[in-house]
Structure 1
């Protein structure tokens, strides 16, 4: 339930940028969080409260990681607001990946994938691959929605713009291959049948179903179109 609430709040905060809402309180979130001051917005207050509960759910080390990555996410929303119309330079091909890591909180959700009592050494080495799976599964399943909305600031758009001859569709295919490989890497590392592997498989299945079920991603529209064309 905690992760559901966290996700709902984070999604609403992310929408602030998309909708062009007032970002002033978002800019001050980290400062107010650290100094234990009231946030100036109900949604931000909710995040403040729920984030302080993390120490009751996870070890001090994992709690530190989750808190730090969440604060980075808040900073990214401010960065995203200020760089909306920024042209992506061909001289900075790694910027899209940097931007995506900050925006997607893949490390936060990577820790959510495993039981809180599971020793971190059981899964920490797969976190780089898990970062790819979490971020880019979302990018792949968001592709239709973002194309329909004309969104040119998403990861695939930035990825294509950072290269001289890459179409967005080609970037999508490349991303699918990269994500599938990362998924297989995780399964091989965690060893099928282990508690960590079972937790990851359960998380991944739920992660995909979450995207399919949520109207936000419009995936049922694709299914309807496919059914009507049969």
Structure 2
């Protein structure tokens, strides 16, 4: 385990980074910051069980997808959807887990579709609100799927899931069409704006609160902004290592570094503090509601478990296992 300095008197935590010219690793700071984040998140694997029935249903659904989709990609989608649901949403009913897993599969498909048929993404929302049929068969299934959301979540939650989905689809189109755009130093709010629209934060959080869990949202409404920030920020942090290895520069950390005229490492360090602060706020806000506190902790640890299980994040290279 990589060592860190204790927090200074100010309360700001600065992880120890040691390199020499002989052993210098360009990713050493990234590795330390990610390890520091996981350590300070007090990760304790929930050891979420495998849901065989869910995996069977997802496999059956994806077996009907167009034959031109790579079978290896299909296998990865099945595993990714199921692991995410098993870890982050294990407290929900089987019906909810199936809905969420199908939903995630459709969203992954949209990312791939942008390389082949960007117009289908561009026109999805207009076709949906006009009641027009989506020509793409998987987008057609997504549109039908969204029609069931009110059966499983409160009107407030269902509205947020649908709005967040449409935002993310629009943001996907923007990401494909603005790849050459340079973020200007004065556009410091743009990276956050794009990230919050593209990140599916509202659906991810509102999936937690089933209709039968609590009939109205006032008891958990105030933690939602920090839960969304924690979820999106955690993904930014834990996916950054593999993105650096791949040379990706269009992620939130690099866009923010460009806008703030800073380095990616400095932004990542600041983001770690911001996300841990959100976790502390949620702890405080749920302290007088044991049921809500338990749900938050289960989600937090389950989401971390998913990130460590996901081979694409390559966190095992940093010495972490789910």
TM-score, normalising length: structure 2 = 0.65
The residue number in structure 1 matching 2:246 is: 149
Per-residue CA deviations over 1:38-64 (Å, capped at 9, x if unaligned) read 212233123212211101101222211
> Within the alignment, does 1:196 sit opposite 2:292 as a pair?
yes
For 2:139 and 2:318, how far apart are their aligned partners in 1? Answer: 34
> Within the alignment, does 1:131 sit opposite 2:228 as a pair?
yes
Give 1:41's match in structure 2, choosing from 131, 136, 150. 136
Per-residue CA deviations over 1:167-204 (Å, capped at 9, x if unaligned) read 10111111011000101101110126522221111112
The residue number in structure 2 matching 1:3 is: 100
The residue number in structure 1 matching 2:203 is: 108
For 2:152 and 2:136, how far apart are their aligned partners in 1? Answer: 25
2:127 is paired with a residue whose SS is: helix
For 1:13 and 1:185, how far apart are their aligned partners in 2? Answer: 34
- Structure 2 residue runs without a partner (length 5+): 1-96
For 2:158 and 2:184, how far apart are their aligned partners in 1? Answer: 36
For 1:57 and 1:142, how far apart are their aligned partners in 2? Answer: 30
Question: How far does residue 14 in structure 1 lie from its aligned partner after superposition?
Answer: 2.5
Question: How far does residue 215 in structure 1 lie from its aligned partner after superposition?
Answer: 2.2
8 Å contact 1:114–1:200 — kept in the other structure? no
- Structure 1 residue runs without a partner (length 5+): none
Q: Which has the larger radius of gyration?
A: 2
1:122 is paired with a residue whose SS is: coil
The residue number in structure 1 matching 2:110 is: 13
TM-score, normalising length: structure 1 = 0.90
* Change in 2 beyond 3 A, CA 1:176/1:107: same
Which structure features the higher share of helix residues? 1
Count of aligned pairs between the two proteins: 222
8 Å contact 1:77–1:103 — kept in the other structure? yes
Question: How far does residue 159 in structure 1 lie from its aligned partner after superposition?
Answer: 0.8
Correspondence 1:63-78 to 2 at 5 A: 63-78=158-173
For 1:8 and 1:213, how far apart are their aligned partners in 2? Answer: 18
* Change in 2 beyond 3 A, CA 1:214/1:42: farther
Question: How far does residue 103 in structure 1 lie from its aligned partner after superposition?
Answer: 0.7
8 Å contact 1:54–1:63 — kept in the other structure? yes
The residue number in structure 2 matching 1:95 is: 190
The residue number in structure 2 matching 1:219 is: 315
What is the RMSD of the two structures over their aligned residues, measured on CA atoms?
Answer: 1.8
Q: Which has the higher contact order (CA 8 A, sep 6+)?
A: 2
For 1:145 and 1:45, how far apart are their aligned partners in 2? Answer: 32
Moved more, 29-38 or 93-102: 29-38
